[in-house]
Amino acid sequence: MEFKVDERIKFDKKLQTLEVDFSGLEFRSASDIDETYDVIQSEITKSGHDFWYFAVNYKDCKIALPASPAHSRRGSRINVMHSIGTVRYDASQKTASAIASRPGQGVLQGNFFSSREDAMAEISAMRSKQPEARKRGKLAPSKYSADDFKPLVGFLEDLQVLDVNLTDISFDNANDVNTFYDHVEEQIKATGKKWYFLVNYSNCKISMRAWVTYAQRGKKLNIASSLGSVRYDATPEFEAEIRSQASTGEFRANIARRREDALGMIEKMKSKAE
């Protein structure tokens, strides 16, 4: 992208507000959206607070059709994870309609305003109605420990496979995700080598609050330690989500119905690598 995302982000701790300036930008692809929201997520993490009022400037912002699904997905998630209340201003009718139609908008109903002054006045009104909102505090601690994941993560050394079983696991927030990935990274580091990843997603659930962290940690781990990854037995909703993320072109979905099929896909990867 031809702009620096972090230069378009401003925190006002006194007003508990995060302002994001998308004015004049054109998002052409899903990767443009993901790169932008990755930086926003990172800046929120560095801010020391999990919850903010969001004010987003959409003046002359264009979101191309290939970028629209990712914009909807990432925008919805960051709002669920970190927003006390959100306002947008100076959006075109097309952009406003696309945002307002997102799943989960609920009482926000888009919250569009013609000017920054009107948008900030709405945040002021929100703040007066819920003065204790910031005191929601940090995210809940993980309900899992590393010990919970020990029997679910193993190595099939003769096959060069890291075997992960996430059957019935429910990731409710970022801390659940971090506990899991911290354990997996530690196990891989101890081996000193890369592996093919085999992941059983049977009845695994990842809440909207956890998805961004799960995707970021997964991407980082795959780049650092994976020779190739295959997933299997995911629910239709989960499979659709993985395929949607893979559509950015950064990785292949590689989803199988059964374990045997997934292992077969890994064997094909090995053959191509030889």
152 within a domain of the structure (yes/no): yes
| Type of residue numbered 116 | R
Last residue of a domain, one of 91, 115, 136: 136
For residues 125 and 213, state if they share a domain. no
Predicted confidence at residue 73, as pLDDT, reads 83
Encoding tokens for residue 197?
Answer: 């990843």
> Which CATH number does the domain housing residue 218 bear?
3.30.750.24
pLDDT tens, residue by residue, 158-181: 999 999 999 999 999 889 999 999
Last residue of a domain, one of 74, 109, 136: 136
For residues 214 and 122, state if they share a domain. no
pLDDT of 103 higher than 60: no
pLDDT of 198 higher than 60: yes
- Roughly how many angstroms between the first and final C-alpha of the chain, as a whole number? 36
CB within 8 A of 34, min separation 6: which ones? 70, 74, 248, 250
For residues 200 and 104, state if they share a domain. no
141 within a domain of the structure (yes/no): no
Indicate the DSSP class of residue 234.
Answer: -
Instruction: Out of 141-145, 148-152, 238-242, 250-254, pick the least confident.
Output: 250-254
For residues 116 and 161, state if they share a domain. no
Predicted confidence at residue 263, as pLDDT, reads 97
Last residue of a domain, one of 136, 157, 186: 136
| Type of residue numbered 117 | E
For residues 150 and 132, state if they share a domain. no
95 within a domain of the structure (yes/no): yes
State the average pLDDT over residues 228-237. 91
CB within 8 A of 120, min separation 6: which ones? 17, 55, 87
**SS3 of 59, please?**
coil
Q: Is the distance from CB of 210 to CB of 177 less than 8 angstroms?
A: yes
Encoding tokens for residue 90?
Answer: 């100076």
Mean per-residue pLDDT over the chain, rounded: 87
Q: Is the distance from CB of 41 to CB of 6 less than 8 angstroms?
A: no
Predicted confidence at residue 166, as pLDDT, reads 97
pLDDT of 105 higher than 50: no
Encoding tokens for residue 9?
Answer: 């982000």
Domain count across the chain: 2
Encoding tokens for residue 104?
Answer: 């989960």
**What's the pLDDT band for 98 if we cut at 50, 70, 90?**
confident
Residue 21: which domain range? 5-136
CA distance 160 to 168: 25
CA distance 118 to 55: 11
**What's the pLDDT band for 70 if we cut at 50, 70, 90?**
confident
**What's the pLDDT band for 230 if we cut at 50, 70, 90?**
very high
pLDDT of 253 higher than 80: no
**What's the pLDDT band for 213 if we cut at 50, 70, 90?**
confident
pLDDT of 215 higher than 60: yes
Encoding tokens for residue 20?
Answer: 């994001």
Distance of CA 5 to the CA centre of its chain: 17
Q: What is the Cα gyration radius of the chain?
A: 20
CA distance 36 to 146: 32
